Amino acid sequence: MSRTRPAMLVLTLLLALGAGRAPAEAAGPQAVGNGVLRTTAAGAAFVVQLDETHPPSFTYWDYTDDPPRVLSMADSPSAVDCLGELFGGQTIGLSAAASDSASPGEAVTLRAFLVDGGPGGPHRLSLKASRTNGAVVYFAPLRELESGTLTVSCPS
């Protein structure tokens, strides 16, 4: 089975579960979406739910390895910041404690940038995972979503 097939299965499941709904109006920054990205070696997929109607969550699967590497937000984010129009669209920066399947039991800090390209532009995602000493254990540069959707909203 190709490595992109599991990504598509995950994305299909996430869409069926309703993770693609737009965030409700709220006082703070929000992001809701899921999608598939193309990396240099294989595919990657993500799902994000940062709104007031669901518990906050962010998970990223990198299919370069078998089994896939999974980076997942462990608790509520320590920060969700509106960065304005950046990287071609409304951008949110997310910081949170996370887990990394490549290092079971080791706490990492996840930093992600989520970009809503709007109706005419591409949606984008970038993330970095670091140990508590600052050493980077994973980095995915800013990439356009190959498929999926991402809705980012910030208070006016």
Report pLDDT digits (tens) over 137-148: 999 999 999 999
Are the CB atoms for 149 and 46 separated by under 8 Å?
no
State residue 24's pLDDT score: 41
State residue 13's pLDDT score: 39
Q: What is the pTM of this model?
A: 0.80
Are the CB atoms for 72 and 108 separated by under 8 Å?
no
Split at pLDDT 50, 70, 90, the class of 6 is: very low
Residue 113: φ, ψ to 5°: -115, 125
Report how far residue 156's alpha carbon sits from residue 151's, in angstroms, rounded to the nearest whole number.
16
Q: How many CA atoms lie within 13 A of 55 on its CB side?
A: 5
Mean pLDDT, residues 53-62 taken together: 93
More confident residue, 36 or 26: 36
State residue 128's pLDDT score: 97
Report how far residue 50's alpha carbon sits from residue 58's, in angstroms, rounded to the nearest whole number.
8
